[in-house]
């Protein structure tokens, strides 16, 4: 059981956690593995981040999940958060990744303050981590919420930090860890 790769990628905001994850996913897919889950992508306008999309990795369906112009009752920093977008796109993508036998690797980007406003998301993260599938997650670096504390405390997850110095090499390092432990496809 403990040889199932479970990787956490952490780092400061905007350091490249999502970019690192996407490079790893693309490499795994090039090697024939099927990946599913959710990705949180920045919305950039005039070179400034103004919000985030939540995207189902496999279907590419996405919705605006957080935006500086949202007048939402839930706010994290300057962003209004649309929990329903997360529960409509992200949560089902993770659930599909857990349940679908065709899926080899689960991805969750990101376990952060905004995402943790959704109880359904938090429950699905634990279900994914407890599943017997390989998983790669990105983690908010500084947040001390109960879910993040629990994830960091798990002894079955290896947490690696993305920095400006290692962000070009880290995807390769994680790919190697994954490939050594992933079951062969044939």
Domains of the chain, first to last = 6-181 (3.40.50.300)
Residue 14 binned pLDDT confidence (cut-offs 50, 70, 90):
confident
pLDDT at position 1 is: 44
Residue 183 binned pLDDT confidence (cut-offs 50, 70, 90):
confident
Q: Residue ranges of the alpha helices (H) in the chain?
A: 17-30, 83-85, 91-99, 119-130, 146-153, 170-181
Cα 121 to the center of its chain, rounded Å: 11
Q: Is 62 or 181 the better-scoring residue by pLDDT?
A: 62
**If you average pLDDT over every residue of the chain, what do you get?**
93
Cβ proximity of 141 and 111 under 8 Å: no
What tens digit of pLDDT does each residue of 36-93 get? 999 999 999 999 999 999 999 999 999 999 999 998 889 999 999 999 999 999 999 9
Q: What's the rounded Cα separation, in Å, for the pair 54 and 116?
A: 14
What backbone torsions phi and psi does residue 52 show, to the nearest 5 degrees? -140, 145
Q: What's the rounded Cα separation, in Å, for the pair 63 and 34?
A: 23
Q: Kindly provide the residue ranges of all beta strands, DSSP E only, lying in 29-175, ordered along the sequence.
A: 35-45, 48-56, 62-67, 75-76, 79-81, 105-111, 135-140, 158-161
Q: What's the rounded Cα separation, in Å, for the pair 53 and 39?
A: 8
Q: Output the six-digit token pair for 20.
A: 């690192």
The model carries a pTM of 0.93
The angle formed by the CA atoms of residues 6, 7 and 11, to the nearest 5 degrees, is: 155
pLDDT-wise least confident of 126-135, 147-156, 173-182? 173-182
**Looking at residues 90-107, what average pLDDT do you find?**
97
């Amino acid at each position: 059981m403990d040889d199932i790769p479970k990787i956490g990628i952490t780092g400061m905001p905007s350091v490249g956690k999502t970019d690192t994850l996407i490079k790893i996913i693309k490499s795994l897919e090039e090697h024939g593995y099927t990946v599913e889950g959710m990705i949180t992508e920045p919305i950039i306008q005039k070179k400034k981040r103004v919000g985030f999309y939540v995207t189902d990795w496999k279907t590419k369906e996405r919705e605006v999940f957080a935006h500086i112009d949202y007048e939402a009752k839930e706010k994290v920093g300057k962003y209004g958060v649309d929990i329903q977008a997360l529960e409509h796109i992200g949560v089902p993508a993770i659930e599909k990744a857990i349940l679908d036998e065709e899926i080899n690797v689960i991805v969750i980007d990101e376990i952060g303050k905004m995402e943790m406003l959704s109880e359904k998301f938090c429950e699905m993260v634990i279900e994914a981590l407890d599943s017997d599938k390989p998983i790669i997650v990105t983690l908010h670096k500084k947040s001390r919420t109960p879910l993040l504390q629990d994830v960091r405390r798990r002894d079955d997850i290896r947490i690696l930090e993305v920095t400006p110095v290692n962000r070009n090499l880290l995807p390769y390092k994680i790919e190697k860890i994954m490939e050594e432990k992933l079951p062969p496809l044939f």
